[in-house]
Amino acid sequence: MSDAIVTATGLSRVFGSGDTEVDALTDVSLELHPGELVLLRGPSGSGKTTLLNLLGGLDRPTSGRVLLGEVDFTTASENELAGIRQRDMGFVFQSFALLPVLSAAENIEVPLRIVRTPVHERSERVDELLAAVGLADHANQRPYELSGGQQQRVGIARALANRPRVLIADEPTGQLDSGTAAQMMALISTLVHEQGVAAIVSTHDPRMADYADRVLQLHDGRLAAGRHAA
């Protein structure tokens, strides 16, 4: 029996209609497993963000379905999907998407506040995550006081705050220099394996494949055969 946390079957996504119709994804199937880092590669416009939005319950497919365990995203209500995203999903964005008026610690704490985690548990979890991403000494700094790499470390910590089952990262190294990007991928890989999260990370940078357990390639909305890392 498969231990997949996420199972996507026959996903297609069409935008527009008639003369403006665009096939963003066509018949994509995949599984995400606990403790596995899957790298999603493909050029700009290949459908990477569209696929991640479907896997994260941020959008619905034109056809096909996404299962998180036994929960079918395609039939779940918007309220059910919102709850799933809060409890079971962590998202990392290329733009960092930190709240500028909050400190690093307060940004990480936001998901915990949303689900009303008790104060003492919030504090312990934030301290644990700051240490895990190497920012224990930067808890009180605001985003503008941090480097791009440090801001993305905060974003990763925030995504993991609620101990999600699935981590979805859309070009998380896109705004970072090559050295910092490699550090971020190494950090994500370590945390995924330590915490048993099922992770899928999109990138256009072929060098990032060295940090993945499995690589998937999208081209014109179609998924090519993946490979396991050596």
Q: Is residue 141 part of a domain?
A: yes
> What per-residue confidence (pLDDT) applies to 30?
96
Confidence of residue 2 (pLDDT cuts 50, 70, 90): low
Q: Is residue 14 part of a domain?
A: no
Q: Is residue 19 part of a domain?
A: no
- Predicted confidence (pLDDT) per residue in 190-220, tens digit: 999 999 999 999 988 888 889 999 999 999 9
Q: Is residue 220 part of a domain?
A: yes
pLDDT at 97 over 60: yes
Q: What is the CATH number of the domain that holds 129?
A: 3.40.50.300
What total of structural domains would you count in the chain? 1
Q: Is residue 198 part of a domain?
A: yes
Q: Is residue 15 part of a domain?
A: no
pTM of the model: 0.90
Higher pLDDT, 230 or 16: 16
Average pLDDT, the chain: 91
> What per-residue confidence (pLDDT) applies to 81?
92
Q: Is residue 70 part of a domain?
A: no
Helices 148-159 and 104-114 cross at an angle (nearest 10°) of 20
Confidence of residue 1 (pLDDT cuts 50, 70, 90): very low
> What per-residue confidence (pLDDT) applies to 95?
83
Q: Is residue 216 part of a domain?
A: yes
- Predicted confidence (pLDDT) per residue in 116-159, tens digit: 999 999 999 999 999 999 999 999 999 999 999 999 999 999 99
Domain containing 184: what range?
34-53+77-228
